[in-house]
């Protein structure tokens, strides 16, 4: 990343925190020991949210933020179990595909752009038509591979999804399972290669089984360790994770397959039943604001949906090369009908268990 954009981000972040502190001092705190509870994914993701949204929100309002880490599916299970009473979160940050289930379960508030004005800056491709919040970043599944191992084996760098089935990779591929968003995206992508879509996944499961993957993983941290081990030469993972691994591990290379990729963006919603609806909306305004969105792009390599950032990222060619950050680029992603996917998921999971899990 260019020195200019990094310096700008650091200076702007410091200035916002300083100004927020002045505002918080000038205004009375909400009173009591209010803590805003926000679900997150953990690790670097939560660190980024604390740095560019949580701390600024606290300085502005005097209200502390508790980030509760876990998988999106687990956060949803807790919301459903609460049934709107004594809800475990005030705000939920979820994978977009899991948010579709949360909407069906009726655990989220409808979105009010008047309460979250920064969200008006989101690209149309990030907005929904069902009255819920827009995506706050562009995330898609891509490859990350070990360039040293490919070179030693005389295998060209992967360029197509079909390269997963290259027999020369036998025993050196790891794939995400269906507990991870990348696994669900891979299944849809495989179905599309076979002429199908997210509504009928049986053939796709059988095709994924033919990859003969050495192992399957559930968390991105597991995938990163597998690539670093040298035993695994190729996997499918969220683009931000792929480029972040490329930044810190020299042999790793991130590649967007030429056929395009499946979008499974991140979402932010107010939980139905929260006693802190107004504060939750203020926190969401930070998530959709330019500072958090740029910080998420710089620190985590996920594309912002705030259109104000396009010229800033344009100025940093190295960063721009990693991101989906324009309306035109967002149109190249396939945005699944996640309700259609989940209607087919149970059958696909059962077949996955019988044809893949049972053979591990």
Does residue 210 have a pLDDT over 80?
yes
pLDDT at 53: 98
pLDDT at 32: 56
State how far the alpha carbon of 310 is from the alpha carbons of 23, 91, 107, 295, 303, in Å.
29, 27, 33, 14, 10
pLDDT above 70 covers a percentage of the chain that reads: 91
Q: By C-alpha distance, which of 291, 349, 296, 331 is closest to 13?
A: 291
Q: How far apart are the first and last CA of the chain?
A: 41
Residues 6+ apart with CB under 8 A from 321: none
Q: Which residue has the higher pLDDT, 13 or 212?
A: 212
Residues 6+ apart with CB under 8 A from 81: none
Which residues, in sequence order, are bridge partners of residue 267?
94, 135
Distance in angstroms (rounded) separating the CA atoms of residues 262 and 191: 11
Question: Residue 159 phi/psi, 5° resolution?
Answer: -130, -20
Please give the angle made by the CA atoms of 333, 133 and 73, to the nearest 5 degrees. 75
Residue 112 exposed, middle or buried by CB count within 10 Å (0-12, 13-18, 19+): middle
The CATH number of 140-263+335-356 is which of 3.40.50.2300, 3.40.190.10, 3.30.465.10, 3.30.457.10? 3.40.190.10
Q: Helix, strand or coil for residue 60? A: helix
Token pair recorded at residue 96: 């977009």
Residue 51 exposed, middle or buried by CB count within 10 Å (0-12, 13-18, 19+): middle
pLDDT at 44: 86
Which residues, in sequence order, are bridge partners of residue 144?
235, 254
Instruction: Using pLDDT thresholds of 50, 70 and 90, give the confidence band for residue 117.
Output: very high
Parallel/antiparallel/unpaired status of strands 64-69 and 35-40: parallel
pLDDT, mean of residues 269-289:
98
pLDDT (tens digit per residue) in 55-113:
999 999 999 999 999 989 999 999 999 988 999 999 999 999 999 999 999 999 999 99
Does residue 3 have a pLDDT over 70?
no
The CATH number of 35-138+265-325 is which of 3.90.226.10, 3.40.50.620, 3.40.190.10, 3.40.50.300? 3.40.190.10
Q: By C-alpha distance, which of 150, 236, 146 is closest to 186?
A: 236
Does residue 4 have a pLDDT over 60?
no
Distance in angstroms (rounded) separating the CA atoms of residues 31 and 100: 35
pLDDT, mean of residues 312-336:
96
pLDDT, mean of residues 200-208:
97
Mean pLDDT of the chain: 91
Contact 202, 196 (CB under 8 A): no
Q: Which residue has the higher pLDDT, 137 or 44?
A: 137
pLDDT (tens digit per residue) in 13-47:
544 444 444 333 334 445 458 999 999 998 889 99
Distance in angstroms (rounded) separating the CA atoms of residues 104 and 207: 30
Q: By C-alpha distance, which of 117, 51, 49, 107 is closest to 77?
A: 107
Please give the angle made by the CA atoms of 251, 165 and 212, to the nearest 5 degrees. 90
Tell me where in the chain the CATH 3.40.190.10 domain(s) lie. Answer: 35-138+265-325, 140-263+335-356
pLDDT (tens digit per residue) in 217-273:
998 889 999 999 999 999 999 999 999 999 999 999 999 999 999 999 999 999 999
DSSP 166-179: -GGGTT-BEEE-TT
Which residues, in sequence order, are bridge partners of residue 93?
268
pLDDT, mean of residues 4-21:
49
Contact 161, 218 (CB under 8 A): no
State how far the alpha carbon of 2 is from the alpha carbons of 7, 65, 239, 323, in Å.
9, 31, 20, 15
pLDDT at 20: 43
pLDDT at 250: 94
State how far the alpha carbon of 182 is from the alpha carbons of 21, 215, 240, 345, in Å.
39, 15, 12, 14
pLDDT at 303: 97
pLDDT (tens digit per residue) in 295-322:
999 999 999 999 999 999 999 999 999 9
Token pair recorded at residue 211: 């990859």
Which run of H or of E encompasses 196?
none
Distance in angstroms (rounded) separating the CA atoms of residues 168 and 227: 17
């Amino acid at each position: 990343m260019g020195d200019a954009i990094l310096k700008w981000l650091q200076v702007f972040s410091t200035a916002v925190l300083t100004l927020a502190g002045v505002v918080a001092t000038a205004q009375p705190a909400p009173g009591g020991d209010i803590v805003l509870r926000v679900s997150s994914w953990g690790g670097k993701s939560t660190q980024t949210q604390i740095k560019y949204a949580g701390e600024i929100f606290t300085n502005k309002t005097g209200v502390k933020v508790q980030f509760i880490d876990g998988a999106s599916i687990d956060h949803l299970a807790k919301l459903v179990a609460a049934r709107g009473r004594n809800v475990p979160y005030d705000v939920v940050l979820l994978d977009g595909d899991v948010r579709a289930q949360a909407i069906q379960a009726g655990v989220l508030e409808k979105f009010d752009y008047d309460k979250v004005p920064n969200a008006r800056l989101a690209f149309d491709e990030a907005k929904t038509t069902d009255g819920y919040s827009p995506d706050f970043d562009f995330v898609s599944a891509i490859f990350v591979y070990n360039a040293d191992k490919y070179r030693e084996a005389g295998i060209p760098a992967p360029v197509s999804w079909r390269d997963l089935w290259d027999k020369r990779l036998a025993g050196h591929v790891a794939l995400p399972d269906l507990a991870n968003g990348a696994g669900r995206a891979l299944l849809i992508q495989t179905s599309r290669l076979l002429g199908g879509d997210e509504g009928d996944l049986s053939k796709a499961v059988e095709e994924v089984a033919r990859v003969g993957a050495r192992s399957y993983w559930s968390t991105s941290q597991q995938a990163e360790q597998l690539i670093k081990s040298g035993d695994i030469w190729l996997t499918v993972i969220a683009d931000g994770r792929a480029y972040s691994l490329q930044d810190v591990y020299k042999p790793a290379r991130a590649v967007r397959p030429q056929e395009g990729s499946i979008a499974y963006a991140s979402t932010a919603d107010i939980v139905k039943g929260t006693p802190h609806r107004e504060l939750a909306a203020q926190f969401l305004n930070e998530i959709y604001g330019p500072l958090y969105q740029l910080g998420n792009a710089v620190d985590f390599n996920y594309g912002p949906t705030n259109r104000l950032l396009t010229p800033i990222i344009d100025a940093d060619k190295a960063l721009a090369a990693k991101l989906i950050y324009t309306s035109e680029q967002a149109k190249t992603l396939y945005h699944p009908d996640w309700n259609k996917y989940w209607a087919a998921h149970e059958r696909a999971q059962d077949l996955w268990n019988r044809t893949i899990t049972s053979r591990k």
